[in-house]
Structure 1
Amino acid sequence: MTTELWVIGGIILILICFSFLFSGTETGMTAVSRARLHSLAASGDKRASVVERLIERKDRLVGALLIGNNLVNILASSLATSVLLSVFGDRGVVYATIGMTVLLVIFSEILPKSLALFRPEQFALFVSPFARFIVFVFGPVSSAANFIVRGLLHLFGVNLSSDANMVSAHEEIRGAVEILHREGSFVKQDRDRVGGLLDLAELEVSDIMIHRTAMKLVNAGDAPDVVVREILQSPYTRMPLYRDEADNIVGVVHAKDLLRALHEVGNDPAQVDIMKVATKPWFVPDTTTLRDQLNAFLRRKAHFAIVVDEYGEVEGLVTLEDIIEEIVGEIADEHDVDIQGVKQEADGSVVVDGGVPIRDLNRALDWNLPDDEATTIAGLVIHEAQMIPEEKQAFTFHGKRFIVMKRNKNRIVKLRIRTAGEPGALG
């Protein structure tokens, strides 16, 4: 009888070891980084390729592991109960329940899952042959069980197939970057750059364009020397030309092309035919996403486009630099006019020009003001107030206190913003 007890005890120990593998494999396979796996697989790690294939059908993998884990746990508990019943009688049930609970919780749940969470990639690679064998053995049973589960959930209005990808890849990356930033692995600038790159598919050119009221234009009907002087005195490399009225854009002049033309006529501005120097303007819809516009700029090897609305009216202009700045932040060179439109005051408030984009303000000050309904900070105040405020009027929303400092006709020119609840926030 003693030998038989030792044999059964050894079998129980082996079953607990298998339970350890099942639990650890489940946690390791579900916690593993797919990006890290892809990198390892690309570098030739065959085990990483195996894990990638297994987690492609995660429901089948997890189902197979759960089936195997429950089998060994039930078998181990049954054997322990039978042994302890023969030794202690009816009290053996209590002893077996307590003993197996302690063993399974510690050695088959907490220990393997803690280890797998500590090093998910290493653990997943180590158990990949075991996981592949288990899926091969229990895979068909797991698929059948998953079919039954989906059917039962469907009765309660839950469709697993449609809810499987509720979190998009962009949201997953954005969330991971935000966590890394909180943990100190990503500085704010790196977080903003990744966020800006992800935002390209959600923003339209109308969100970042230079509005028509702020465009610098040159009248093609002016005398050639006047046109040449205006272009060369401008801080911009490219200038749009209009004829008769500002909406009639007839060309775009590059300063380098103009200098070349000047050289050809002996540096006599009066001899320059500005329309021969100008290139044909490129018009793009204001609803074009920044991702599509960036690809179009690269495909056409262009840097400048005129933005029009659905009626063909000029709305503004957008440049390749504008889109790149959405990713890397403000780019300044020696010819840029250094007007940021944001001034930090000694009392902690911020004085902002009404035309400053909300996204730029959020990026500069690490705020979270919404930019869904308005592009500029003045537009946000008007949207929230549902009116055009008077000077010295104040509003509180989104955790900030907005005071209108200056208004010109129907435009908010300057605002003071401070955190709501700070001293002085009431006025």
Structure 2
Amino acid sequence: MNEHTLFSYLSEYWLTALSILGLLVASGFFSGTETALTATSRARMHTLESNGEARAGIVNRLIDRRDRLIGALLIGNSAVNILASSLTTSLFLGLFGESGVVIATLIVTVLVVVFSEVLPKSWAISSPDRFALAVAVPTRLFVAVVGPVSSAINHFVRLVLGLFGVTLSKESSMLSAHEELRGAVDLLHREGSVVKADRDRLGGVLDLGELEVSDIMIHRTSMRAVNADDKPEVIVRTILESPFTRMPLWRGSIDNIIGLVHAKDLLRALAEPGVEPENLDIVKIAQKPWFVPDTTNLKDQLNAFLRRKMHFAVVVDEYGEVQGIVTLEDILEEIVGDIADEHDLEIQGVRQEADGSIVVDGSVPIRDLNRALDWTLPDEEATTIAGLVIHESMTIPEERQAFTFHGKRFIIMKREKNRITRIRIKPAEGLPSDEQG
């Protein structure tokens, strides 16, 4: 081999080696980019874009068409890996003959796994937002070129899968925005980044659209109201001694709500010259009542309260019968809660006993108890603890009767007619879920 031939061979050898190295770098770029753009925070990117970061806008537009992006990156990654493998095999065949195929396979596998997959993906997942911003511009250019091919392949894949009855959703996510937010908040709470109180408030906001006013209303059995046919001085005393600023006014029966009395309106009327409690016409100062269906969800009811600038509504069922009342404060409490400390039980009707059990009034809402104690009792079929016991036992229990379900032991402490008024709850302590005593 003369000097010119040797120089040409060495030049070709090093050129091939550098090409393989460049292809491995390109493979690492595609792998890291796929990981970063998949794991990056869309909320963070939207914030950066709003603050004027142009690359964040590019990232958002790439993520908006995720299937096209991933398809383009996979095409690029597959192409460079195949080309790198071919060049390496060709190079080692020239150096080692037939055995070069085995050697090339082993070397390419190690290089691709370590330097083109594990290393760039580990780097990208450690700081996905920063990595995504760094690769945004070249990725946009690559996707602009290869994107049409990726879209065609995706369309072909959908057609093939369609032959087997498989339909791919075109939505970017199988979860709703609310479910994604809820999952993120729960995860951050478990990791210790979000305290329980903040998790409950955020969860309360997300639950507004799923709850109905019947879930949080003050039931008619607990509703404080005044009878328009009572003596005026009795009505005045009842309103002024009440802890509430607004009270419904009824006549004949509780289902006939004729007005809403505001304590301030009452005081203004009493301040008028010549007006005494004995000659006050309570109906004249009462406001017109606002009736809402018991199936109205809390999100709509909150918006209605704000739109009408009202704080109080009477809840009726489909037959027009009064079921209870709901206030703006009731809805706000679903968001902010009424627990002063996450370790203290300060719900009305809940008492912690020395033996670790919880004594609960039957009318206590399941949601309030879950939020206070971080329990997971179901509230789909019943609103109150008494309702849950009746639903699970499929009967109206007697006093001292006990049931075990959902990991808790429920002991009926007091019953008035057909109402369960007090229940003791304690851990099931390994008892079978269907045991009944």
1:351 maps to 2:359: yes
Q: Is the 8 A contact 1:16 1:72 kept in 2?
A: yes
| SS of residue matched to 1:127 | helix
For the residues of structure 2 that align with 1:6 and 1:345, how far apart are their CA atoms? 80
Counterpart of 2:153 (choices 131, 145, 153) is 145
Question: Which residue matches 1:420?
Answer: 428
Query: Within 5 A, what are the aligned runs for 1:384-403?
Result: 384-403=392-411
Note the aligned Cα RMSD (angstroms): 1.6
Q: Is the 8 A contact 2:185 2:194 kept in 1?
A: yes
Q: Deviations over 1:233-274 (max 9, x none)?
A: 001010110011111101001111111111113562123221
1:309 maps to 2:298: no
Task: Measure how far apart 1:422 and its partner are.
Answer: 6.7
| SS of residue matched to 1:284 | strand
- After TM superposition, what 4+ stretches of structure 1 lie above 4 angstroms from structure 2? none
1:44 maps to 2:52: yes
Q: Is the 8 A contact 2:338 2:347 kept in 1?
A: no
Moved more, 232-241 or 218-227: 218-227
Counterpart of 1:207 (choices 178, 191, 215) is 215
For the residues of structure 1 that align with 2:34 and 2:414, how far apart are their CA atoms? 62
1:35 maps to 2:43: yes
Gap change, CA 1:67 and 1:339, over 3 Å in 2? closer
| SS of residue matched to 1:351 | strand
Q: Is the 8 A contact 2:347 2:368 kept in 1?
A: no
Unaligned runs of 5+ in 2: 1-8, 341-345
Question: Which residue matches 1:219?
Answer: 227
Question: Which residue matches 1:335?
Answer: none
Question: Which residue matches 2:3?
Answer: none
Query: Within 5 A, what are the aligned runs for 1:175-214?
Result: 175-214=183-222
Q: Deviations over 1:285-311 (max 9, x none)?
A: 000000000000000000000000011
Q: Deviations over 1:155-205 (max 9, x none)?
A: 222211267542111110000000100111100000000111100000000
For the residues of structure 1 that align with 2:40 and 2:115, how far apart are their CA atoms? 21
1:158 maps to 2:158: no
Q: Is the 8 A contact 2:339 2:347 kept in 1?
A: no
Q: Is the 8 A contact 2:339 2:372 kept in 1?
A: no
Q: Is the 8 A contact 1:19 1:108 kept in 2?
A: yes
TM-score scaled to structure 2, two decimals? 0.94
| SS of residue matched to 2:411 | strand
What letter is aligned with 2:167?
Answer: N
Question: Which residue matches 2:417?
Answer: 409
Counterpart of 2:387 (choices 349, 354, 379) is 379
Question: Which residue matches 1:59?
Answer: 67
Counterpart of 2:14 (choices 6, 11, 14) is 6
Question: Which residue matches 1:284?
Answer: 292
Task: Measure how far apart 1:331 and its partner are.
Answer: 7.7
| SS of residue matched to 1:347 | coil
Question: Which residue matches 2:139?
Answer: 131
For the residues of structure 2 that align with 1:296 and 1:258, how far apart are their CA atoms? 26
| SS of residue matched to 2:254 | strand
| SS of residue matched to 1:90 | helix
Counterpart of 1:118 (choices 107, 126, 129) is 126
Aligned length: 421
For the residues of structure 1 that align with 2:274 and 2:397, how far apart are their CA atoms? 56
Task: Measure how far apart 1:348 and its partner are.
Answer: 0.9
Question: Which residue matches 1:238?
Answer: 246
TM-score scaled to structure 1, two decimals? 0.96
1:25 maps to 2:33: yes
Question: Which residue matches 1:101?
Answer: 109
Q: Is the 8 A contact 1:265 1:271 kept in 2?
A: no
Counterpart of 2:100 (choices 75, 86, 92) is 92
